[in-house]
Amino acid sequence: MGSPLDVSPELAERMINAAAGAAADYYRDLPGRPVIAQTSAAAVRAQLPRELPRTPVRFDRLIRLFTDAIAPNSRHNGHPRFFGYIASPGSAAAATGELLSAVMNANVTSWRSSPSATELEHIVTGWFKQFLGLPESAQGVLVSGGSIANFAALAAARSQAMPQVAAEGIPPDTRLRIYVSQEGHFSIDKAAALLGIGNASVVHVPVDSDFRIRLDILARQIDADVASGCTPMAIVGNAGSTATGAIDPLHSLADIAAHRRIWFHVDGAYGGFAALSPNLRDEFNGIGRADSVTLDAHKWLFSSMGAACVLYRDPAAAQAAFAHDADYTRPIGFAHDESFAFWDYSPELSRPARALPIFFHFSHAGADAIAAAIDANVRCARHFAATASSIATIEMLAPVALSVFCFRYRPRGFAGDLDVLNQRIMAELQRSGFAYLSNARINGKFALRGCVLSYRTTERDMDILMREVMRIGADLCKT
């Protein structure tokens, strides 16, 4: 009898077909499911096997476990009324690419490790360079998420500011500075800590009424820091901030960075793919001038989780930060394109074939359909804001720049704590399973925050959300 690890092609086909059937059922049932199950850790644990399986478990039992316990006890990011955080619904084409990537199980460290996967990654990141306006000579690499992409970009910026840092470290008397608006993602601070620069080196510049970085304050802060002996390392522009979706004036930031010879990084993890839309492209003017850009394909490209990208205008800057020679990685017998190694451009060595799901997804849908879905998401968020303008009890707390909308329920004559009331509304809405909002703090106020990031969402879903928020708010005010 053969090992259960080495199944026959016929059995592999039956297993994959069973999984495909479960996937089809999941997609079919998704709109009617609660957005999130009302359960507990103990209840979920009780439905899952705990003992180490010493002998094989029938595959049909594993499929039933997915159908009966795993899928129902999940939060469904693909639900049309999931508005929490910035979570993609994924797609069937991307899921198919994930399956085939797992079948090959390639370790895409370099060209010689997986020639086709490497070339696909060059193709996919080349598409990104094209619509952002970066030069063909720029280098892209797929990483696990926006936080790692931001980390990698700032590591390259550190190497440019201090060319000897990789070999000698940061001299004790050096004070580096990273400039980002108050809307900047926390991964910027985290990267500074991990890079040995320290959180105190990150300067959070105030924003205007549209939550865009104040250019005048930024320029004065840089001049003051230089005068005091600090070394400006990077300016980070938001291309769709997490809390409000704000887009900084990227052209102007590029001008400031170029004039002062400071690395210019754009965090477009959420919003960057909106540049695919002809209707939104002007909002991203200047992004092609960046020294580095972060994109999350698992956000507004609607691809599978775990695929982000960092793009470097000058590949040598990334190599200065990450390239490392070891005899066991030396490409003996390879030259030119075939000697390419991804470890020269990011912290990772072992890497899955992240490009295959993106390639399947992007190719199957086409850029025009993806752009149209992005436009539809923006229209939904703006529809919610327009509706709110005619409702006395709903107060918008930030402009709708992209598909993020921030608001609160504010009933007439309410003398209690509005923050507490809206926290309770959010909790009740999540518990209902009918829709899902997250939260943000806007100018010191607790905000109900939503982000439209599903091609399944319609303006009717926005109306349903508004109705439910008002119903829950009114009920809570009665108690």
269 Cα distance to chain centroid: 5
Same domain, 359 and 307: yes
Structure tokens at 142: 């797929």
CA dihedral 185, 191, 192, 198 (to 10 degrees): 100
Give the residues across from 268 on adjacent strands. 295
User: Tell me, what's the pLDDT at 331?
Assistant: 65
Give dist(CA 150, CA 158) in Å, integer. Answer: 12
For tokens 């829950």, name the residue: 472
The count of C-alpha atoms lying within 13 angstroms of the C-alpha of 367, restricted to the half-sphere facing its C-beta, is 11
Q: What's the rounded mean pLDDT across residues 306-329?
A: 88
334 falls in which pLDDT band (50, 70, 90)?
Answer: low
Structure tokens at 31: 């709109």
Give dist(CA 390, CA 247) in Å, integer. Answer: 26
Please tell me the chain's helix, strand, coil percentages from 3-state DSSP, rounded to the nearest 5.
Answer: 45, 15, 40
Residue 403 lies in domain:
368-478
Residue 330 scores a pLDDT above 80: no
Same domain, 435 and 355: no
Sign of the C-alpha dihedral computed for residues 114, 117, 119 and 122 taken in this order: negative
Read off the CATH number of the domain in which 107 is found. Answer: 3.40.640.10
For residue 80, being part of any structural domain is answered with no
More confident residue, 293 or 331: 293
pLDDT above 70 covers what percent of the chain?
A: 97
For residue 32, being part of any structural domain is answered with yes
Same domain, 239 and 224: yes
Within 39-91, residue ranges assigned H as helices are 41-46, 59-65
Instruction: Name the pTM for this structure.
Output: 0.95
Residue 32 scores a pLDDT above 60: yes
Residue 177 scores a pLDDT above 70: yes
For residue 88, being part of any structural domain is answered with no
Same domain, 244 and 158: yes
Mean predicted lDDT score pLDDT of the chain: 95
For residue 237, being part of any structural domain is answered with yes
User: Tell me, what's the pLDDT at 332?
Assistant: 59
Same domain, 286 and 170: yes
Sign of the C-alpha dihedral computed for residues 342, 348, 353 and 357 taken in this order: negative
- Three-class SS of residue 109? coil
Same domain, 212 and 236: yes
The answer to whether 430 and 34 are in contact (CB under 8 A) is no
User: Tell me, what's the pLDDT at 335?
Assistant: 66
Q: Closest Cα partner for 231 from 268, 203, 270?
A: 203
Same domain, 189 and 40: no
324 falls in which pLDDT band (50, 70, 90)?
Answer: confident
The domain boundary, picked from 365, 396, 419, lies at 365
Structure tokens at 253: 């930031």
User: Tell me, what's the pLDDT at 339?
Assistant: 83
Same domain, 360 and 375: no
Residue 195 scores a pLDDT above 90: yes
For residue 87, being part of any structural domain is answered with no
Same domain, 38 and 128: no
Same domain, 373 and 360: no
Give the residues across from 440 on adjacent strands. 447
Q: End-to-end alpha-carbon separation of the chain, Å? A: 67
User: Tell me, what's the pLDDT at 327?
Assistant: 57
169 falls in which pLDDT band (50, 70, 90)?
Answer: confident
Same domain, 165 and 282: yes
Tell me: the pLDDT tens digits for 364-423?
Answer: 999 999 999 999 999 999 999 999 999 999 999 999 999 999 999 999 989 899 999 999
Tell me: the pLDDT tens digits for 438-451?
Answer: 999 999 999 999 99
Residue 458 scores a pLDDT above 60: yes
Give dist(CA 267, CA 287) in Å, integer. Answer: 10
479 falls in which pLDDT band (50, 70, 90)?
Answer: confident
Q: What's the rounded mean pLDDT across residues 37-60?
A: 94
Q: What's the rounded mean pLDDT across residues 118-122?
A: 97
Give dist(CA 439, CA 449) in Å, integer. Answer: 5
Same domain, 349 and 392: no
SS (H, E, C) 55-69: CCCCHHHHHHHHHHH
The domain boundary, picked from 337, 365, 393, lies at 365
Buried/exposed 98-130: b ≥16 CB within 10 Å, e otherwise: bbebeeeebebbbbeebeebbebbbebbebbbe
The answer to whether 195 and 238 are in contact (CB under 8 A) is no
Give the residues across from 442 on adjacent strands. 445
For tokens 């320029």, name the residue: 219
For residue 2, being part of any structural domain is answered with no
Q: Closest Cα partner for 400 from 362, 364, 442, 371?
A: 442
> Position 174: which residue type?
T
The domain boundary, picked from 59, 74, 89, lies at 74
37-44 contact pairs (CB < 8 A, 24+) = 37/72, 37/73, 37/74, 37/75, 37/433, 38/431, 38/433, 39/73, 43/73, 44/69, 44/73
Count of domains in the chain?
3
User: Tell me, what's the pLDDT at 333?
Assistant: 58
For residue 313, being part of any structural domain is answered with yes
Residue 328 scores a pLDDT above 60: no
For residue 450, being part of any structural domain is answered with yes
